[in-house]
Chains A and B, each alone.
Chain A
Amino acid sequence: MTNVDVQAVAKTFGTVPVLTDISTSFPVGSFTSLLGPSGSGKTTLLRIVAGFLQPDEGVVKIGGSDVTQVPVWGRNIGMMFQSYALFPHMTVAKNVAFGLERRGIKGAEARRLVGEALEMVRLPGFADRMPKQLSGGQQQRVALARAIVIKPSVLLLDEPLSALDRRLRQEMQVELLRIQRESGLTTIFVTHDQEEALALSDKVAILDKGRIVQIGAPQEVYERPLTRFAAAFLGDSNFLTGVVENGAVRLADGTVVQATGVLPALGQTVTLAVRPEKMSVTPAEGAVNRIEAQVKTVIYAGPALSYHLQTADGTELKLFAQNHDGRLLPEGQKVTLHWSAEHTIVMAD
């Protein structure tokens, strides 16, 4: 088991900078998601760690040794691809044994390891099938078995679940997590699905325009986004802009909002973020903040309700509520939204 370090990595395609000065560390046995919109550089970062791409600057270390100049085939990585990339002309067993054979492991020993790996992904007895004869989820498991059977230093996952339908995907998430925990492999997972990232990872790194804008435990990143981008990309947020005044923030319409956390200097303009599910139309204990708004649209989604609202000065707000009693707020209704100071997050930008 090994850790992975990325130091000051930069990559430019032509004249377009894709990654700018990325430094981060993936501890032993950790499961880190790289999350970001397309073009944010998450896949490029993964491919640099894998060795498919050479960084223009910076260093990649696996297990403490510098592998920046080592080609992909010398790095001992395990990788899963979006398209599974199973070799269509080989049986499941041959696919899984491919990496072993490259390492000189053949015969009975290889058969034993292949058997174990297929056992681990719960596909015993599939050894002699061809990839074409398998379902998408089964192919995915074979790809996983193929990647872990070589006992890689690091497991790299390039949106491996995105081709699966919703049900299968949730099932595979559980599998993936179980196998990662059992094997203790340091794992880097590229995804654009935020729920998946939150559910699976120990750490989530949010990338934007070639930079890591925030990295931390899922809960930390969700509850305490640092920037507007992080707050808006991961989950939904209501943004309120105001001026710092006596340890609170006064909005344009005069509403004063309390926030915990460090506010900038007196008189500075600041943006606050509030998660839509943290607001409520009924006052609760500690909900010191309130704002008036009018219901514009109601979206009924069964267990959850979401409302689009507008304040007097035209600020758009969202509100998520549980469907407790089947009653909806009518459109046009004026309501007061309540939330607590600790749910008011001060944005750094």
Chain B
Amino acid sequence: MTRLGQVYLGVILVFLYTPILVLMAMGFNASPLYELPFSFTTHWYETLAGNDVLLTAGLHSIVLALVTSVVATVLGTIASVALSRRTFRGRNLLQVLLLPPIAIPWLITGTAMLIFFYWTGIGRGLHALIIGHVAMAIPYVVLVVGTGFKTIRTDLEEAAMSLGSTPIHAFFAVTLPLLFPSILGAALFAFAVSLDQFVISYFLSSPGYSTLPVQIYSAIRKGFTPEINAISTLLLLGSMAVILIFARFAKPGETSDKR
């Protein structure tokens, strides 16, 4: 039975990774029409290096992801302090209100943002993308940081206070350093969420400021060459790297103080 289970898991992994690997391989295939058999070239990466549209969009994506990561991590961590450490009326409701950005299909949230931003004059472009992406990332930050809080016993802060710390000093001297891995993990997670976000970006991009996934989508629909495979490969590898680093920082079960 154990053997069978392992074989089955192998099949699942093949299913999950085959298309991704094929996509990556086709970025190194000479035929612009994706014809096989395979003949190796780095031509598409060379042309990509001169493709200003895709490279600019890539830069936009990275800038947006950085801003999103910083803003969402700061806001989400601050909110997490109250949600994890305070008891007050309406806390459960506030926790439920974190779910819509995650749970409602992005198509609905994205089009709603489009309407509202148009109607209020906020419009589209980088600022609109930041508003949207941060809102998408905040719930994940609260979740990751909140999980971090759960691993830190409250009596550590009490001990600090018994030794003369004010609550604020106790937080900065004791809780924050212990929380740091979670916060860093949350920041990486927020970065990945923003980098991979397509639907919201699709509705909030302006002609002057669009992100890489939006450009890829329009290329897919209008006609494309393996250049798209090349840039997609870079995007995939980028977010995989971020997530792998995240997994190192926020390893579930590995806490600073287990007792």
Binding site for B on A (CB under 8 A): 50, 52, 71-73, 76-79, 81-89, 98-99, 102-103, 146-147, 150, 156
Contact = CB atoms under 8 A, between A and B. Distances in A.
Contacts of B165: 73, 98, 102
A102 B259 contact: no
Given A88-B256, A88-B257, A89-B177, A83 B163 contact: no
Contact of A73 (B155, B161, B257, B259): B161
Interface string B112-137: 00000000000000000000000000
Given A89-B177, A89-B256, A83 B164 contact: no
B178 A99 contact: no
Nearest to A96: B163
Contacts of A77: 162
A113 to B, nearest CB: 13
B79 interface: no
B164 A73 contact: yes
Contact of B259 (A71, A83, A103): A83
A229 to B, nearest CB: 30
B178 A102 contact: no
B156 interface: yes
B171 to A, nearest CB: 12
Nearest to A75: B162
B158 A52 contact: yes
Nearest to A79: B162
B257 A78 contact: no
B75 interface: no
Nearest to B152: A88
19 contacts: A50-B162, A71-B166, A73-B165, A73-B166, A78-B162, A79-B159, A83-B155, A83-B259, A85-B156, A85-B158, A86-B159, A87-B156, A88-B178, A89-B174, A98-B160, A98-B173, A102-B164, A147-B162, A156-B162
B153 interface: yes
Contacts of B162: 50, 72-73, 77-79, 147, 156
* Closest A-B pairs by Cβ, 6 of them: A102-B164, A99-B163, A85-B159, A79-B162, A85-B155, A88-B257
A76 B165 CA distance: 11
B150 to A, nearest CB: 15
B155 A81 contact: yes
Contacts of B164: 73, 76, 99, 102-103, 150
A89 B161 contact: no
Interface of B: 153, 155-156, 158-167, 169, 173-174, 177-178, 256-257, 259
A275 to B, nearest CB: 38
B166 to A, nearest CB: 5
Contacts of A89: 174, 177-178, 256
A85 B158 CA distance: 9
A76 B158 CA distance: 13
Given A83-B259, A99-B163, 13 more contacts: A50-B162, A52-B158, A52-B161, A72-B158, A73-B162, A73-B165, A76-B164, A79-B159, A88-B256, A89-B256, A102-B169, A150-B164, A156-B162
Nearest to B255: A88
Given A52-B158, A85-B153, A102 B163 contact: yes
Contacts of B160: 87, 98
Contacts of A88: 156, 178, 256-257
B253 to A, nearest CB: 16
A146 B160 CA distance: 10
A185 to B, nearest CB: 14
B161 A87 contact: no
A87 B171 CA distance: 12
A71 B163 CA distance: 12
A83 B178 contact: no
A156 B159 CA distance: 11
A82 to B, nearest CB: 8
Contacts of B158: 52, 72, 79, 81, 85
Contacts of A78: 162
B161 A81 contact: no
Given A81-B158, A83-B155, A87-B156, A146 B178 contact: no
A306 B102 CA distance: 64
A99 B153 CA distance: 19
B257 to A, nearest CB: 4
A73 B256 CA distance: 25
Residue among B160, B163, B165, B174 facing the most chain A CB atoms (10 A cut-off): B163
A94 to B, nearest CB: 10
A83 B173 CA distance: 19
A98 B259 contact: no
B202 to A, nearest CB: 43
A79 B164 CA distance: 11
Contacts of B173: 98
A84 B173 CA distance: 17
A65 B257 CA distance: 38
Given A88-B178, A88-B256, A146 B156 contact: no
Contacts of A85: 153, 155-156, 158-159
Given A87-B174, A88-B257, A89-B178, A146 B163 contact: yes
A150 B163 contact: yes
A78 B163 CA distance: 7
B155 A72 contact: no
Contacts of B174: 87, 89
